[in-house]
Amino acid sequence: MKFEAVTIKDIARALGLSTSTVSRALRGSYEISADTKQLVLEYAEKMNYQPNPIAKSLKENRSWAIGVIVPEIANNFFSQTINGIDATAYKRGYHVVITQSHESVEREVANVHNLVARRVDGLLVSLSMQTSDIAHFKSLQERGLPIVFFDRISEDISTFKVKANNYKGAYLATRHLIETGCRRIAHLTTASCLSITRERLEGYKAALSDCHIDYHEDYVKYFNDQSDVEQVATDLISMPEKPDAIFSASDRLTTACIAAIQKAGLQVPDDIALVGFTNLHVAEFLNPALTAVTQPAYEMGQIATELLIKLIESKKPIDTFETRILDTTLVIRASSGKKSLPQLL
Amino acid sequence: MKFEAVTIKDIARALGLSTSTVSRALRGSYEISADTKQLVLEYAEKMNYQPNPIAKSLKENRSWAIGVIVPEIANNFFSQTINGIDATAYKRGYHVVITQSHESVEREVANVHNLVARRVDGLLVSLSMQTSDIAHFKSLQERGLPIVFFDRISEDISTFKVKANNYKGAYLATRHLIETGCRRIAHLTTASCLSITRERLEGYKAALSDCHIDYHEDYVKYFNDQSDVEQVATDLISMPEKPDAIFSASDRLTTACIAAIQKAGLQVPDDIALVGFTNLHVAEFLNPALTAVTQPAYEMGQIATELLIKLIESKKPIDTFETRILDTTLVIRASSGKKSLPQLL
DNA sequence: CTGAAAGCGCTAACAT
DNA sequence: ATGTTAGCGCTTTCAG
């Protein structure tokens, strides 16, 4: 079960040269004669020589690997970002080692250690729902490990960050619901410590405020990984002053809402309208066709990777960091169609 | 921007020992005194020593990496298999390098070369739609590289394979459609050279045959990556003897069908029933709620990885290979509800 | 223009 | 029980 590969030594021996000459010839060094170069290159080609990246890594003390930590691979949004990460990394000669936190801090910390032990050249991170303290990233960053955060970022650390315009997405969604006549808009959202949660909540509040609608805490529900979303959604739509719209922050929340609404026998959008953050291709074919806030997931992966590689390859320490904010889009579909209510705006 | 790690040499110097003693102490060799062991272990712990896996790989001439080639990461089924691959590989001390063929043979071949150049210890492969010739895998296998195929496998090579019971899934789906009264069942499916395409077609044919329904070529449509699915679906449901059911082999095909059906103003399942292979969590919330053939994607990834590691770690060459067939399940929903037609069965 | 030798971090055969 | 040494594949001084 051995897979024998041609080495520089093999070439040197076969051609009666030294390994250093072969090495130099292969990388086109100016100090090697044209004849020797050609000889080496042709032989290497013929023997299908492939430099051993492991030896190269050991020598250079870097792995040409990028470590990625995401909450979940089997999630539409993250698999799309990974797609972008992958494409960009390969183009630049890096490979990608993907790990999942499964929304647990412990696993996030374990992954960080594992990736560092594997000597990744840098880290691309989207935080878990449980992560409030990011000491495990800070200490590494201080020791010089390049880290870029994307999507679920932290304010507590200064580095490159890439995120979607969650504020705008939430604002557009909420404003749109208001404009179609909704007044009691509930917001089901992710764990309260996440950046995306805060940003979306602010967009939601701003839209309400701009339209002179009071903000009600009772209409905002936070969910962690364990929550029984459908139960909460059911309770919500059974309230005396039940909401006439739900703005939901993830696919898991949205589907639970749909289930609860269906079971309650309510009509969308007439009894209750629905808008969700989603990157699902099938949003259009859901029942009801889902009005969606979409994020440029692929691009986010691309940009985060480019920034990380910039950090990794920079000669001098970088100390001015930007946070890139990518545009979000509202796609209006049947789940939030016009109502026959008087318009305020 | 350097990330300095503690090495065995550092420990040896600090403790006034030789590197080999430290190395042996760290791996608990019996020839080291308890005192020395403890000394080394404690100091290593204190300094947070992490063995350099790159050096280990160079020494052992193996990377502890598993290469994965899938058509597409941002695809429900494959991201679920990757999840399973990942979990199993990490548990066994391997990391995973994922690449995508994007349904192109050229990219598949390029990925293989890339992964081999990176010295992966083995390969986990699901073939691209364009791949009919698998010479690029055979030659590597002959040179001793462990390869396991999953989902989209090939008959032309002898090794471990893991697949879903596509025959059964297709049989159940077709039979179910027949039992609810459908007689003209179309089958939209993937590229004709894929194993999954053949197996599903056979299951489909067998169900028709068992129920004494003639097989019509016109009702079977194959699609590659480029095809205009919606156009073909539209043509299909405009046929004079238009189908009264569609059995579709992928999400992309299913959504195109739904779109075509919606545009034509047909009712599901009364005018036309629909069953699709899908691993989408939201299948239940599609319009119509989609009757689905589901595959155990996570498990498939797990099992394929276990088999690959078995191959990699086997002392003696393995020459008897099994093909693991995982069960598929039919989940009946509204898209294939009972019709008011006379029952044949 | 080319070769010899050292070293990246680790392990193991070979001393002692 | 511990140290010395060589070597995995490659790059890179340093010497010719």
B103 neighbors B224 (Cβ within 8 angstroms): yes
Residues of chain B with CATH 1.10.260.40: 8-51
Task: Assess whether pLDDT exceeds 50 at residue A131.
Answer: yes
Is the pLDDT at B340 greater than 90, yes or no?
Answer: no
Rounded distance, CA A2 to CA B32, Å? Answer: 32
**3-state SS class at B188:** strand
Give the per-residue pLDDT at B345. 44
User: What is the CA A110 to chain-centroid distance, rounded?
Assistant: 19
Residues 6+ apart with CB under 8 A from A62: A119, A121
Q: What does the pLDDT read at residue A345? A: 45
Could you report the per-residue pLDDT of A208-231, keeping only the tens digit for each?
A: 999 999 999 999 999 998 999 999
Element (H, E) at B149: strand B147-150
Average pLDDT, chain A: 94
Q: Which CATH number is B166-295's, of 3.40.50.300, 3.40.50.2300, 3.90.230.10, 3.90.1200.10?
A: 3.40.50.2300
Q: Are the Cβ atoms of B251 and A314 closer than 8 angstroms?
A: no
Cβ atoms within 10 A of the Cβ of A193, count? Answer: 18
pLDDT greater than 50 at residue A123: yes
In one-letter notation, the amino acid at residue A84 is G
Q: What is the pLDDT of residue A4?
A: 74
The alpha-carbon radius of gyration of chain B (Å, integer) is 26
Q: How many CB atoms lie within 10 A of CB B259?
A: 16
**Strand B329-331, strand B291-294: pairing:** antiparallel
Q: Just give the CATH number of B62-163+297-326.
A: 3.40.50.2300
Does residue B341 carry a pLDDT above 90? no
Q: Classify A248 as helix, strand or coil.
A: strand
Q: How confident is the model at residue A343 (pLDDT cuts 50, 70, 90)?
A: very low
Domain A8-51 classification at class level:
mainly alpha
pTM: predicted TM-score of the whole model, two decimal places: 0.93
Instruction: List, by residue range, all CATH 3.40.50.2300 domains of chain A.
Output: 62-163+297-326, 166-295
Residue A102 sits at the chain B interface (C-beta within 8 Å): no
Residue B139 pLDDT grade (very low, low, confident, very high; cuts 50, 70, 90): very high
Distance from A55 to chain B by nearest Cα, in Å?
A: 6
Give A300-341 pLDDT, tens digit per residue.
999 999 999 999 999 888 889 999 999 999 999 999 976 544
For residue B84, count CB atoms less than 10 angstroms from its CB and return exposed for 0-12, middle for 13-18, buried for 19 or more: buried
Query: From CA A275, how far away is CA A170, in angstroms rounded?
Result: 10
Q: Do A100 and B83 touch (CB under 8 A)?
A: yes
Chain B residues with beta carbon closer than 8 angstroms to that of A258: 285
Listing DSSP states for A34-70 in one string gives HHHHHHHHHHHHHTT----HHHHHHHHT--SEEEEEE
Q: What distance in Å separates the CA atoms of residue A231 and residue A259, rounded to the nearest whole number?
A: 10
- Report residue B74: phi and psi, to 5°: -80, 60
Q: Which residue, among B85, B95, B100, B113, would best test binding to A if mutated, counting the most A CBs under 10 Å from its CB?
A: B95
Written as one string, the DSSP assignment of A86-111 is HHHHHHTT-EEEEEE-TT-HHHHHHH
Residues with CB under 7 A from strand D: A 5, 7-9, 19-20, 23-24, 26-27, 51-52, 55-56, 58-59; B 16-21, 24, 30-33, 35-36, 55, 58-59, 61
Chain B residues lying within 8 Å of A110, measured CB to CB:
none
Q: How far apart are CA B86 and CA B94, in angstroms?
A: 9
Residue B233: Cβ within 10 Å count: 27
* Chain A residues with beta carbon closer than 8 angstroms to that of B100: 83, 86
User: Which residues in B lie closer than 8 A to residue A296 (C-beta atoms)?
Assistant: none
